[in-house]
Amino acid sequence: MPTDTPIQMQSIADLMSEIESLQSRLHELEREVEQSQRLATLGTLVGAVAHEFNNLLTPVMSYAQLALARPDDPNLTHRALTKAVEGTQKASKAASSILGFLQDSDGELVNVRTAIEDALTCLAREPQKDGIQLEIDVPGTLWARIRPVALEQVLLNLLINARRAILPGRGSIRIHAECSTWNTPEVIPEVIPEDGAPAAGGCCEKCIRIRFSDTGCGMDGALVEKVFQPFVRGPRREGSGPSTGLGLAISRRLIEEAHGEILVESEPGKGTTFTIVLPAGEPDES
């Protein structure tokens, strides 16, 4: 029987080594694209962020000037300095969230409520100021197995898209999350029971389900089918800002990288709902 020669074996080994090198480089490029998309995401917010920082720092300066002008009035000075400290704390929190968003993290576990709050802080401008009602129904006890910055990036992309779909009109955004248990042999099912009840067969596994809904302009069926493809831009109202067309494509990769799934339902004129399903975790996991 023919056997592999040493030369053939060496060629196979070289080929395998080259494949591993290419896979490693591909992983590096994916991370670079992810980082670039984070910068692009913040780029779409730069105007709103600068405006909000100006809104925070202008009163700080006014209160400081007031305290300097009336040093003989301790009560007034105390109130003015208290207000100045509150303003700088808000600005500092927003800056810290933005810097944290730009830095990758090694952890694979995140508190869902914290990720939502950090994403909202990165917006700097509260949605309510633009006539968008925000409802968050997320317990502080939910933990998901995903990189914290990855979930934050997904949520921030959804917030920006929802804002773009609503403005310059009025509308609402609702974020609901819960821990569901259903039977899954190996992967999360495409169809998730609304009541979270297990189906027959398979093995029970806890998952976190996040539903992100907006009352924006919505999408037709043709766009829904390809909305996760790169460079596909969703609908937006006039004057709501540009889109890179990469946010949802990268969001799906980040979710699937964590062995999760992201689904979308939408109807023109009635808004859009994204459902994110992720493996559940425990805060004491190493």
Is 232 contained in some domain?
Answer: yes
Is 256 part of any domain?
A: yes
The percentage of the chain sitting over the pLDDT mark of 70, rounded to a whole number, equals: 73
Residue 187, in any domain of the structure: yes
Domain count, the chain: 1
Residue 131 located in a structural domain = yes
Would you say residue 91 lies in a domain? no
Distance between CA atoms of residues 91 and 55, nearest Å: 10
pLDDT given at position 44:
67
Does residue 125 have a pLDDT over 90? no
Residue 66 within a domain? no
Q: Which of 50-54, 71-75, 170-174, 232-236 has the lowest mean pLDDT?
A: 232-236
Pick from 24-38, 72-86, 172-186 the range whose average pLDDT is largest: 72-86
Contacts of residues 239-244 at CB distance under 8 Å and 24 or more positions apart, as own/partner, are: 239/167, 239/168, 240/163, 240/164, 240/165, 240/166, 240/167, 240/168, 241/44, 241/164, 242/44, 243/44, 243/161, 243/164, 244/37, 244/40, 244/41, 244/44
State the distance between the two ends of the chain, measured CA to CA, in whole angstroms.
Answer: 52
pLDDT for 22 beyond 70: yes
Report if pTM > 0.75.
no
Q: Identify the pLDDT of residue 158.
A: 94
- Contact at 8 Å (CB) between 272 and 211? no
Is 74 part of any domain? Answer: no
Query: Which tokens is 116 given?
Result: 């939502």
Domain of 255 in residue numbering reads as 108-279
Q: Is the pLDDT of residue 176 over 60?
A: yes
Domain CATH for 194: 3.30.565.10
Instruction: For residue 11, tell me if it sits in a domain.
Output: no
pLDDT (0 to 100) of residue 72: 87
